A and B are shown apart, each in its own frame.
Chain A
Amino acid sequence: MRKSTSLNRRDILKLGMFAPASMMLSKASQKIKGGTKKLNIIVIVLDALTASSMSLYGHVRQTTPNMERFASKSNVYHSHYSGGTFTTAGTSSLLTGTYPWKHRAINLFGYVTEKYTNRNIFNLLGSEYFRTAFTQNPYADILLSQFGASIDRHYEIDSFAKINLYSHDNNDRVLFEKYIYDDSFLYAENPASLFFGTLKKYAYEFKKDRLMTPANEKIIGGVPRLFFSVEDVFSGMAGEVPASPDSSFVYYHFYPPHQPYIISPEVENLFTDAWEHVNKPIHSLSTNATTQEETAELLLMYERYLARTDMAFGSFINHLEENGYFENSYIILTSDHGELFERGAIGHLTPLVYEGGIHIPLIVHSPGQTERKNFFTPTSAVDVMPTLLSIANRDIPEWCDGQLLPGFGGTEDATRKIFTMDAKLSTPSQELKIISIAMRQGNNKLHYFKGFTDYRGARKNDSYRRGKFELYNIANDPHEITDLLDSQTDLASSMKDSLLQAYDQSKNFNNL
């Protein structure tokens, strides 16, 4: 016989007796739920963004007014350094919390060692977070593909782009092979596939010419293989942020202001001032040997492109603010490496480790923060991961090189040693024989070059092969003009020992 499910008057009275208790329980359960609910973490990386060109960090040209607006409600780190000098090494340090001599993603198209495949922020945050990742940089996309098992949504590199010549099947585990194939056989300056490569190259030029007219945009520094509108990508990806559920970890790695600099009509007349950057002597390891005039012109283009990027970033931040993300999210703005415009070196494919190439921004907004806080002691990209793990109440693994950022449980330690290195000519699975390292400690910065023989200046000066140092005081000499190596011998000796000790530890690849 079927049991009736209707309620009679007695049942309703019985239920009424439990109503106040059930309401209390409901509130308590909401409180518990609220207590365990994680706040969102949104990491925004702007590729090749040097602090030296940002008005936020004191540059005379107003290149970053929107980032300054964002910084007015955030912690600003004034002496923040990348782990590497280009995307692969820098991004790996950011995402793994380790220096390049550990993760070994040191070459173009490189990736972290197998051991570090699970040693990354996505995996360590765990599935409690909904983890989304996006990059427009193919080198960074290799890393995201490598970490793919821990990423819930991995956007294609050509999301909101107009033309893409890269492989973009980013869920493919053999992606790296495809990159080699693509880069060398389908599209390169001289594609190795005679028939397909030529046709693909022509198809790209054909499309590019129709998308870009001289009256519209000017491209400085080569033809992009991923062509996009800066504004489209920022606004498109901003629209993707609310799509994530609560407790989300968002990693957006935008390509601008990376070369090529795409100058729109809105910014093409900016910065027609008389400001001149400091003229520095050509370095023995410079790759381009550009003249002072060429350098100034390229720097101007970079800064105009940066101003354009800043506008798009402003719209992105407005979107986050309007949708309440400033109240329930940690928002981090940083870069993977800087950009050099000095000593005959342009860009970041250089072994030089001067400030422009490695001094990058770090701005961290905490939920509900309304005032700016400044921190001046040196910090590193490897500090970001442990800080985020701490925010998420996760343990910080002992293999991590970073420490908590000041303002998030860390202390301002002026004696701490911060490293940045470039070893793109070295073999990742062996001792790093061709390497340049910068070590910042307090206000002092030591540069070390070893194993270089092929550069023009290195052929004349054997010390770049045997090991050469430079020492600067960044507080007194921010442009790194006066080498203190011979005048500050005690300081130089002590710093050399520290740097060489760290370098020696990096030699034993298997123990890292």
Chain B
Amino acid sequence: MAIFNRLPKLEQILSVYGVIILFTYGWTLYRFVWKLPSWLINLTIKEIFIGLCYALTTNLFESLVVLTIILIPALIFPNSKWSLEFVFRASTFVGIVLFTFIRILKNDALINDLPAYGLYAIAATALLQFVLIKLNWFHNLIIGFAERTIVFIYFLLPPSLVAAFFLGIRRLWI
């Protein structure tokens, strides 16, 4: 279909999706491990497993939502600089925005300034890309890193799909 031709190549999308998964799943697993000791006291293994299923399913959906947001500019402007240097630009943007989210979540006082931090993140991304894209080693570093994050898709996507399926079936039965 013509509309899909406007999208970046599949390998490029997967590279960026890998970075998204690294941040979203990484944060959740960090929180999961942080909660686990108290859950082991209060919950059964079955309940912890179900909690993990909810976590993976949530991560699956939120990573897809973030990816969709990233792809929309490419879809609208297929020949823009965003699309032409999709992996570099999208990966740095995702990295900066999601890292900002982590900073905000780590400091409650910052939550009210989320829109301002969002703008700072976009400005920082633009500035970085304008300046750093010219540095070959940095460009290659980001591209290489993004390509290597694809491994997380193989690790995390299948269990997430199983978890979502399991919860879906469970909802039908209970």
Q: Would B23 and A190 count as touching, CB distance under 8 A?
A: no
Q: Would B171 and A194 count as touching, CB distance under 8 A?
A: no
User: Does A192 sit at the interface, judged by CB under 8 A?
Assistant: yes
Residues 49-71 (chain B) with a chain A CB within 8 angstroms:
50-51, 54-55, 58-59, 61-62, 65-66
Residues 5-44 (chain B) with a chain A CB within 8 angstroms:
23-24, 27-28, 31-32, 35, 41-44
Q: Would A196 and B62 count as touching, CB distance under 8 A?
A: yes
Known: A184-B31, A427-B42. A195 touches B98 (CB 8 A): yes
Q: Which of these, B23, B44, B170, contacts A194 with CB under 8 Å? A: B23
List chain A residues, Cβ under 8 A from B102: 194
On chain B, the number of residues with a Cβ less than 8 Å from chain A's Cβ atoms is 35
User: Does A481 sit at the interface, judged by CB under 8 A?
Assistant: no
List chain B residues, Cβ under 8 A from A206: 112
User: Does B119 sit at the interface, judged by CB under 8 A?
Assistant: no
List chain A residues, Cβ under 8 A from B35: 184, 192
Q: Which of these, A186, A198, A428, contacts B105 with CB under 8 Å? A: A198
Residues 102-137 of chain B, each 1 if its beta carbon lies under 8 Å from chain A, else 0: 101110100110100000000000000000000000
User: Does A270 sit at the interface, judged by CB under 8 A?
Assistant: no
On chain A, the number of residues with a Cβ less than 8 Å from chain B's Cβ atoms is 33
A356 to chain B, nearest CB (A): 26
User: Does B174 sit at the interface, judged by CB under 8 A?
Assistant: yes
List chain B residues, Cβ under 8 A from A107: 41-42
Q: Would A191 and B105 count as touching, CB distance under 8 A?
A: yes
User: Does B101 sit at the interface, judged by CB under 8 A?
Assistant: yes
Known: A185-B58, A193-B58. A177 touches B51 (CB 8 A): yes
B140 to chain A, nearest CB (A): 27
A185 to B52, CA, bound (A): 10
If over half of B's interface residues share one DSSP class (helix, strand or loop), that class is named, otherwise mixed; here it is helix
Query: Which of B65, B98, B114 is packed against the most chain A CB atoms within 10 Å?
Result: B114
User: Does A209 sit at the interface, judged by CB under 8 A?
Assistant: yes
Q: Would A192 and B41 count as touching, CB distance under 8 A?
A: no
List chain A residues, Cβ under 8 A from B112: 202, 205-206, 209
A107 to B38, CA, bound (A): 11
User: Does A108 sit at the interface, judged by CB under 8 A?
Assistant: yes
A197 to B106, CA, bound (A): 12
Q: Would A195 and B174 count as touching, CB distance under 8 A?
A: no
A337 to B23, CA, bound (A): 42
Q: Would B105 and A190 count as touching, CB distance under 8 A?
A: yes
| A interface residue numbers (CB < 8 A to B) | 107-110, 173-174, 176-177, 180-181, 184-186, 189-198, 201-202, 205-206, 209, 425-429
Q: List 28 A-B contacts (CB under 8 A).
A: A173-B174, A177-B50, A180-B51, A181-B51, A181-B54, A185-B54, A185-B58, A189-B108, A190-B106, A192-B55, A193-B24, A193-B28, A193-B55, A194-B23, A194-B28, A194-B101, A195-B66, A195-B98, A196-B62, A197-B105, A198-B101, A198-B105, A201-B105, A202-B114, A425-B41, A427-B42, A428-B42, A429-B44
